[in-house]
Structure 1
Amino acid sequence: MISATGVDESSPHYPGWRVVLACFLMAFFMFGFGLYGQGVYLAELQRAHGWPGTLVSAASTFSFLLTSILVVFTDDLLASIGLRALILCGLSALGASTVLLGLMQSPWQLYLAYALMSVGWTGMGTVVIATVLNAWFERRRGLALSLAFNGATCGGIVLVPLLLALSESVGFRCAMLAATIAMVALVLPVVVVFIRWPAAASLQSAGRLSGSAVVPRGHSRRALLANAAFWTMVLPIAIALLAQMGFIIHQVTFLEPLIGRSSAGLAVTIMAAMAVVGRLSLGLFVDRLDPRLACAASMTSQAAALLVLLQSESPTVLLVCCAVYGFSIGNMITFPPLIIQREIGSTAFAAAMGLGTSISGIVSAFGPGIIGLVRSLTGNYTTAFALCVALDLVAASVVLWRPGRSAKVVAP
């Protein structure tokens, strides 16, 4: 994308910042309901219906895998039905999913709800957010992405405790209905008013793409799969996310025998809070950094935190390690759009984001299972988390590999 000469992205009056607000709210509810809220659904549906945990967990796996398939086609959907229509479809699907979760009576309805949630991810998830912000920002792209994706972490910090409190006071059904109404009331107006591609009238002189030209049809996914720069970004991110998902899911189980249940819960809170701090800190400087080098540093810091975690039983040290680890958690979804924009190009951005997110999602979905399997075979978490350390270091090495000056991917 051509630099936006004459457009002051730092100005609070720049309309792109209103798009960031809309994306923040989308991420807040999409990740709050679609990722962090799944632990609430597991507990409440078991309590309400007596369904086995394996049934609900299998539905979660089904949803994540279906999402990984659907996001591949994000660029086609953007080109065929448009940006705002896709987001509104995603909002409608997510709202239908959360309402159904509150009203369901049969297991088949659970899978329907989780399938609708996958449609929500396609319309309101990482790929759409990154694509629209990539179109609006050039010089402040990293900050815009960091601010928007902080909505994901805030969704976990705010929405999950809120759902738990409401479920205890008014019941799970009313809690889900109330939260859904709040989501529609907050997200629908900002999407309708603020979400659009950069207007030709204000940005044409800057050489930016506008209207439907932002997401042209016909990108070759085969060309992306043959692009070395694409793979040296996707593979290390997928490997790092596999290790990250494995640690996050098993964190409380590992820490509880060492520091107690309440302190283990505190460690999760600290880690989530540091993810917000990490995104904001990175956002202030990332536009002046080499994204591959910054990505490798983040992966290395996570490996170092896990290594120290395995060597200590001090509650203070363990909490500090969780804080250091959390500092880089959120940035793993910020780096891919920055690398794609620099090395693959704007015309294939949505296609590359969709395909890369799909690959990373499928690979990282195995993280909790692999760590759990290694823990079961060895009887402790030492070898399992040591594997995470090794995976992070391998990922950091691969992401630093620059396979020459890769050609931009263009439509065939």
Structure 2
Amino acid sequence: MVVATRVDESSLHYRGWRVVLACFLMAFFMFGFGLYGQGVYLAELQRAHGWPGTLISAASTFSFLLTSVLVVFTDDLLARIGLRSLILGGLVALGASTVLLALMQTPWQLYLAYALMSVGWTGMGTVVIATVLNSWFERRRGLALSLAFNGATCGGIILVPLLLSLTGSIGFRSAMLTVTLAMMALVVPVVVIFVGWPAGMSPASDRRSEGGRAAARGQSRKALLANAAFWTMVLPIAIAVMAQMGFIIHQVSFLEPLIGRASAGLAVTLMAAMAVVGRLSLGLFVDRLDPRLACAASMTSQAAALLVLLQSTSPTMLLLCCAVYGFSIGNMITFPPLIIQREIGAGAFAAAMGLGTSISGVVSAFGPGLVGVVRSLTGNYTTAFAMCVALDLMAAGLVLWRPGRRVKVASL
């Protein structure tokens, strides 16, 4: 008889916490460059090349749409090329993207850079991080996810102001190249040394039949798509993230004329800092919360912050609104794995995360472009951000709808 050894997940010697550190760094640079940094690119590329904001916003939308297609196949890529190869491939793609952003001269290079960024999201994004940590943690899963995803928020706190500061002193090109080099020096050794699956566990551990595994994945995805409960988890979060991404990408361009570059950078820092507080708060109390109710409250708070932001011209009030808005930003990527784990379970976790992230990504990808188009048509951000308020309120109502039928999917 085999006796299972109970792992002490609370011990600092547990290897899973080193995996959390690696995931933190992955999220730091992926979200720093791939999400929060796009507001910097929008402003700097307009200034350097005179390209219209709609062109650059459309490139952001293209990137997020492509990411949404690629992320569906994350589970297949993990099984085919392995965890470490997928992450390192994503890292190389992200590095190539940021180098190209620094050196580009023509619009087609912008779209190539954003396509490479999509490959980076596939190798270093939320699906990979959530799937890996789900395999390492059971009793401390919520805390592990919160700590790792705080890397995403810290990307906004540290990376964006750093890029803005370096751009002011050494120029946008040198700033991007310098931070890219730092990313490679930090992330490569940590991934190589620390990242891996727990002993005897991986998406590819069942080698009985690749065709059978593909069929099981297909059955799980088909069952999820046919179930209303799955859609009431995915669609409202997608709508809220669409509004959120639209605001984040345009935040610097909106605030800079009102309060200046330095204060706009401070607003990003405050927003991201409050996201850390919000996510840590969720991680500490996650077992006592109804994730759907907490999600609705977060969406409503974002709507309220944006509404006040549109009515104010006071620098202090604008900064305060960005801080309130930021409190729930981080939790928008933490809620999906928590709801999926609770309502779907571990058997189809990777399939549900991949499919849900893809659907959410397709919807939310229109956020930057939609805000950019409305801003161009109206000549200001008032109508565009008012639209984001309406989207948040609609999402908050939808996520509270709980169809009676529980999600049932085939175990992978």
Judge same fold: TM > 0.5, yes or no: yes
Partner of 1:59: 59
Partner of 1:197: 197
Given that 2:135 and 2:198 are in contact with CA atoms closer than 8 Å, whether structure 1 keeps it comes out as: yes
Partner of 2:248: 248
Given that 1:24 and 1:151 are in contact with CA atoms closer than 8 Å, whether structure 2 keeps it comes out as: yes
Separation in 2, partners of 1:197, 1:380: 49
1:29–1:249 Cα change, 3 Å: closer
1:405–1:16 Cα change, 3 Å: farther
1:54–1:324 Cα change, 3 Å: closer
Q: Secondary structure at the match of 1:329?
A: coil
1:408–1:16 Cα change, 3 Å: farther
Between 1:371-380 and 1:106-115, the stretch displaced more is 371-380
Separation in 2, partners of 1:50, 1:184: 31
Between 1:338-347 and 1:19-28, the stretch displaced more is 338-347
TM-score of the pair, normalised by structure 1: 0.85
1:303 offset after TM fit, Å?
2.6
Partner residue of 1:212 out of 204, 213, 223: 204
Separation in 1, partners of 2:257, 2:353: 40
Separation in 2, partners of 1:401, 1:287: 21
Separation in 2, partners of 1:223, 1:161: 44
1:359 offset after TM fit, Å?
1.6
Given that 1:68 and 1:362 are in contact with CA atoms closer than 8 Å, whether structure 2 keeps it comes out as: yes
Given that 2:8 and 2:14 are in contact with CA atoms closer than 8 Å, whether structure 1 keeps it comes out as: yes
1:107-146 matches, within 5 Å, as 107-146=107-146
1:111–1:391 Cα change, 3 Å: closer
**Which sections of structure 1, spanning at least 5 residues, go unmatched?**
201-208
1:8–1:405 Cα change, 3 Å: farther
Partner of 1:359: 359
Cα RMSD over matched residues? 3.1
Between 1:122-131 and 1:221-230, the stretch displaced more is 221-230
1:16-165 matches, within 5 Å, as 16-45=16-45, 54-165=54-165
Separation in 1, partners of 2:378, 2:51: 31
Report Cα offsets for 1:227-263 as digits up to 9, x if no partner.
Answer: 2221111111011112222333454566677767765
Report Cα offsets for 1:60-86 as digits up to 9, x if no partner.
Answer: 332222111111111111122121111
Given that 1:30 and 1:121 are in contact with CA atoms closer than 8 Å, whether structure 2 keeps it comes out as: yes
Q: Secondary structure at the match of 1:35?
A: helix
Given that 1:199 and 1:211 are in contact with CA atoms closer than 8 Å, whether structure 2 keeps it comes out as: no
- Identity among equivalent positions (%) equals 85
1:80–1:256 Cα change, 3 Å: closer
1:249–1:235 Cα change, 3 Å: same
Between 1:76-85 and 1:244-253, the stretch displaced more is 244-253
Separation in 1, partners of 2:124, 2:60: 18
Separation in 1, partners of 2:185, 2:249: 32
Given that 1:143 and 1:287 are in contact with CA atoms closer than 8 Å, whether structure 2 keeps it comes out as: no
1:370 offset after TM fit, Å?
3.9
Report Cα offsets for 1:179-217 as digits up to 9, x if no partner.
Answer: 2222122111111111111113xxxxxxxx556348964
Separation in 1, partners of 2:168, 2:99: 18
Given that 2:75 and 2:203 are in contact with CA atoms closer than 8 Å, whether structure 1 keeps it comes out as: no
Q: Secondary structure at the match of 1:328?
A: coil
Between 1:299-308 and 1:349-358, the stretch displaced more is 299-308
Q: What is the identity, as a one-letter code, of the residue corresponding to 1:245?
A: M
Q: What is the identity, as a one-letter code, of the residue corresponding to 1:142?
A: G
1:40 offset after TM fit, Å?
3.6
1:84–1:245 Cα change, 3 Å: same
Between 1:36-45 and 1:297-306, the stretch displaced more is 36-45
Separation in 1, partners of 2:93, 2:399: 35
Partner of 2:210: none
Separation in 1, partners of 2:18, 2:334: 19
Given that 1:244 and 1:329 are in contact with CA atoms closer than 8 Å, whether structure 2 keeps it comes out as: yes
Partner of 1:178: 178
Given that 1:228 and 1:406 are in contact with CA atoms closer than 8 Å, whether structure 2 keeps it comes out as: no
Given that 2:54 and 2:372 are in contact with CA atoms closer than 8 Å, whether structure 1 keeps it comes out as: no
Given that 2:375 and 2:384 are in contact with CA atoms closer than 8 Å, whether structure 1 keeps it comes out as: yes
Given that 2:73 and 2:354 are in contact with CA atoms closer than 8 Å, whether structure 1 keeps it comes out as: yes
Given that 1:214 and 1:347 are in contact with CA atoms closer than 8 Å, whether structure 2 keeps it comes out as: no
Partner of 2:346: 346
1:344 offset after TM fit, Å?
1.8
Given that 2:135 and 2:197 are in contact with CA atoms closer than 8 Å, whether structure 1 keeps it comes out as: yes
Q: What is the identity, as a one-letter code, of the residue corresponding to 2:102?
A: G
Given that 1:274 and 1:324 are in contact with CA atoms closer than 8 Å, whether structure 2 keeps it comes out as: yes
1:257–1:120 Cα change, 3 Å: closer
Q: What is the identity, as a one-letter code, of the residue corresponding to 2:140?
A: R
Q: Secondary structure at the match of 2:92?
A: helix
Partner of 1:269: 269
